Structure 1
Amino acid sequence: MNPKWRDGNQVELLINGEEYFPAVFERINAAKEEILLETFILFDDKVGRELQHALIQAAGRGVHIEVLVDGYGTADLGISFVWEMVSAGINIHMFDPHPKLLGFRTNLFRRLHRKIVVIDCQDAFVGGINFGADHLADYGPMAKQDYAVQVRGPIVADIHRASMDLFRKTQSRMHNRPDATEQKVQRHSGSASMLLSIRDNDSHLRDIEIQYMRAIRSADHRLMIANAYFFPGYRLIRELRNAARRGVDVVLILQGLPDMRWAQIASQFLYGYLLHSGIRVYEYCERPLHGKVALVDREWCTVGSSNLDPLSLSLNLEANLMIRDHALNQQLFEHLEGLAEAKCNEITLEQVNRGAWWKTPLSVACFHLLRHFPAMAGMLPAHTPRLEQLKPVAEDTEILDYKQDKTI
């Protein structure tokens, strides 16, 4: 699929599970023909159960449903949970399943990290929010801060096609299902221009990174990135430095209350270089930041699943929407500016320079590692991920029958 900018789209920003889940479930409950759903994580909790119920109800109305989960992120999904969906006629697939070794998951790399929902070729959702209760505030202090968008218009055909391309690799009968047509997709729903950018391990190795760099190079006065796992390659770091040096107000909002401490430590090794370049760095401390959003000037922004780290930029399957829309850009800017002012700690050079003597040489080593990590990360591990359909043999079975259909 060659990415193209599509005009005439409608877009709505959805912040956290409180806005995302009701919007998705409302559209699922109204679905008439088809639901395609991809997610990294699906939990058997109150959110997962609500999704399961909505999908089973839709299947009962005759809606064709395809669900794809990741073998690492959704490794512990219960047999009864799967059985209830499969017995209702829902097709569930797992990306790159591997058995655990001594209780630990072994498929660490090349994950399906995309979060996409397409309903009746009319509405699509793209973002970073998984189907789990940890995206709701009542989960507690470790509830995630995250973002997605709901879109309508010509871009839905591209999103539908991207999902179908993946699902077709699992079973031959999917080959006969058509892509979204112009007759199905609502035309000229709004004023937003959009481009779907995906990252895979085939022909779209650097698409998302390239779109980021193009936007950064075009920045004239403001650039904001809010990203959960920030350890990008040298090329992207250099473009951020160049933007700051030509007078662009470059602001990074990163994790201050991390769900994975090692990810925060990796980012912190870059702080000295970033601050010396004139880039402002904030750590969001109210809850774990899980977002993957950015904006440039007053038109461009992106929302999706891709972090700016080795996994997302060099290994995972990812999907981001690049969007040109003044209203969305301004809404996202006001929201992120509010986070920076009220719920973040600004990092200073004094803070970075304070502490152990070994921080400086280690920071230098990490910085130079950035020059080479894309090539190194792309080599590990050297395996071919596959999709397998989940088919419990019987309702009371203790073992799922994983039917391998095709490697990808």
Structure 2
Amino acid sequence: MNVDPCVDNAQQQPAAAFSPPRVEVAGAQLWLFVELEPLLAAMLADIRSAQHRIWLESYIFSDDSAGRAVANALIERSQASVDVRVIYDAIGSQATSAAFFGELAAAGVKVHVHQTIWDSLFRQRSWRLLNRRNHRKLLIVDEHAAYFGGMNLIDPVEALQAGGAANLPTSAGWRDVHVRLVGPQAHDVAESFHRSWRREEHQLNRIPSRAYRRGVLSPEAESIRFFDSGPGFKQSRAARVYSRAMRVARREILLSMAYFIPAGRVLRALLAARRRRVRIRVVVPHDNDVKLVQYALRHLYSKLLKRGIEIYERVNCMLHSKAMVVDDQWSIVGSCNLDPRSLEINYEFLAVIRSPAFAAELKKICENEILHSQRVTLDDVARRTRWQRWIDRLAYALRAWL
């Protein structure tokens, strides 16, 4: 077998042989996934064993091999009288036919679509609402299992090859971070889904949660806390969560981020951490599936590098993760990127996990990405042409719409 030096050994193994790292935190078992194939296998096993409920929320739910496998499993359980509910985003899933979701509904699956173009422009008459997307990725099975992270229900390599995305190296795959949780905290993830469901039924305008009143970071030795973020809040919960974690950092911040355009309180918190001599490493894609995001970030490279922030571009794959590790203690995983769209506009979901063991596993994943990355230097920035810098500035000006 040919081994790509920029692909983990685990990636070379078949899905059945792949064993994602498992960590116990606060009475729950957590599994970390970085690729779709083993994650999909775990999801399908849980779905097929469901007895009471399957609640699914996904920005993209595609009618491809991955999405069809999930849909078939949902249909089978719905016909067995399991409560099956699906929320998908109209823009994220725009390539999926109405007939696909019609099949689900015909089998008894309760389906909600988030913010169609018709609803935004004609029923609610608001361009602003059209820009608000549901970017969350959740799965809750019965009372015990929950999934959250950055992976959509789509085979990304299949989609890239079909779309002819020549700028992306489809042969090396698509890297992400997604978590399977088994434990009592699955109930909290279910509560988050239920709030989203009520919002889609126009029964909920604001999003209350006891967790927000308790603060972002738990004083307990080990904890798992979940946060919704989106337009239902007076201020961005996601920005608050990330910036608070950055402010407590004393030694190191490690970020693995698909779309990284820090601004506002998040950028201030990063720069303040550097003034405290905190080491900051950021891993981003070398080739992004959204090119304008890549250009917008490169507009910030000089500012970040001059302040001592280390930037690495992951090569030979598309890095789609949204993860942070602070001081080998705190971890943040979810659907939220550090860009204006995720922080201020979209509906998102984050988990804040205090556990040295979980942080160690997540750090291994992030540092593996660094091993297969190119470090960005000020010389690299200086070599960009005047035309490239103009494009970077234009992309940065459009950052809220990317």
- Which interval holds the TM-score relative to the shorter structure? 0.7 to 0.9
Deviation of 1:85 (Å): 1.4
Counterpart check, 1:326 vs 2:377: no
State the Cα deviation string for residues 66-119 of structure 1 (Å, max 9, x = none): 10000101123223322321121111110001259xxxxx87510000001111
Q: CA deviation at 1:307?
A: 0.8
* 1:51 aligns to 2:66 (yes or no): no
In structure 2, relative to structure 1, the CA distance for the partners of 1:137 and 1:44 (3 Å cut) is closer
> Of 360, 377, 383, which residue of structure 2 is paired with 1:354?
383
Change in 2 beyond 3 A, CA 1:240/1:33 = same
Given candidates 268, 272, 292, the residue that maps to 2:302 is: 272
Structure 2 CA distance for partners of 1:366 and 1:51, relative to 1, 3 Å: closer
Q: Give the Å deviation of 1:235.
A: 2.3
Shift of 1:214: 1.2
- What secondary structure sits across from 1:11 in the alignment? strand
- Could you say if the C-alpha distance between residues 57 and 350 of structure 1 is closer, same or farther in structure 2, counting changes exceeding 3 Å? same
Q: CA deviation at 1:63?
A: 0.4
Shift in Å, 1:206:
1.2
Matches within 5 A, 1:5-404: 7-99=26-118, 109-134=131-156, 140-141=170-171, 143-171=173-201, 192-203=222-233, 205-341=235-371, 343-357=372-386
For the Cα contact (< 8 Å) 2:51–2:142, is it kept in 1? yes
How has the CA–CA distance of structure 1 residues 131 and 359 changed in structure 2, closer, same or farther, with 3 Å as cutoff? closer
Check whether the contact 2:315–2:373 (CA below 8 A) recurs between aligned residues. yes
Q: Is the 8 A contact 1:201 1:317 kept in 2?
A: yes
Deviation at 1:357, TM superposition (A): 4.5
The residue identity in structure 1 corresponding to 2:382 is N
Q: Distance in 1 between matches of 2:382 and 2:363?
A: 30
> In structure 1, the residue corresponding to 2:103 is in which secondary structure?
helix
Task: Report the Cα offset of residue 358 of structure 1.
Answer: 6.8
Distance 2:99 2:160 in 1: 26
Distance 1:352 1:230 in 2: 17
Alpha carbons of structure 1 residues 44 and 248: separation in structure 2 relative to 1, 3 Å? same
Structure 2 CA distance for aligned equivalents of residues 271 and 172 of structure 1: 42
Number of equivalenced pairs? 346
Residue identity matched to 1:68: I
Secondary structure of the 2:287 match is coil
8 Å CA contact retained: 1:136, 1:144: no
Give CA-to-partner distance per residue, 1:164-221, whole Å, 9 cap, x none.
12212445999xxxxxxxxxxxxxxxx8511111112113641111111111111121
Per-residue deviation, 1:19: 2.4
Runs of 5+ consecutive residues of structure 2 not aligned to the other structure: 1-24, 120-126, 162-169, 205-220
Whether the aligned pair in 1 keeps the contact of 2:333 and 2:351 (CA below 8 Å) is yes
2:7 match = none
Q: Answer whether contact 2:115 2:130 (CA < 8 A) is retained.
A: no
What is the CA deviation profile of residues 262-307 of structure 1, one whole-angstrom value per residue up to 9, with x for unaligned ones? 1100001111111111110000112111111111011101111011
Give the deviation of 1:131 after TM superposition: 0.4
3-state SS, counterpart of residue 202 of structure 1 = coil
Distance 1:291 1:87, change over 3 A: same
How far apart are the structure 1 equivalents of 2:288 and 2:332? 22
- Structure with the bigger percentage of helix: 2
Secondary structure of 2:44's partner?
helix
Summarize the Cα distance change of 1:37–1:110 in structure 2 as closer, same or farther, 3 Å threshold.
same
Matched residues in 2 for 1:239 and 1:363: separation? Answer: 23
Structure 1 residue runs of 4 or more that deviate by more than 4 Å after TM superposition:
135-139, 170-174, 357-367
Gaps of 5+ in 1: 1-5, 101-105, 175-190, 381-408
**Does structure 1 retain, via aligned residues, the 8 Å contact 2:283–2:312?**
yes
CA gap 1:270/1:62 in 2 versus in 1, 3 angstroms: same
- Report if the CA contact (8 A) 1:198-1:204 is conserved: no
Counterpart of 1:264 in 2: which secondary structure?
A: helix
> What CA RMSD, in Å, does the superposition of the two structures yield over aligned residues?
3.0
In 2: Cα distance, 1:110 partner to 1:96 partner: 8
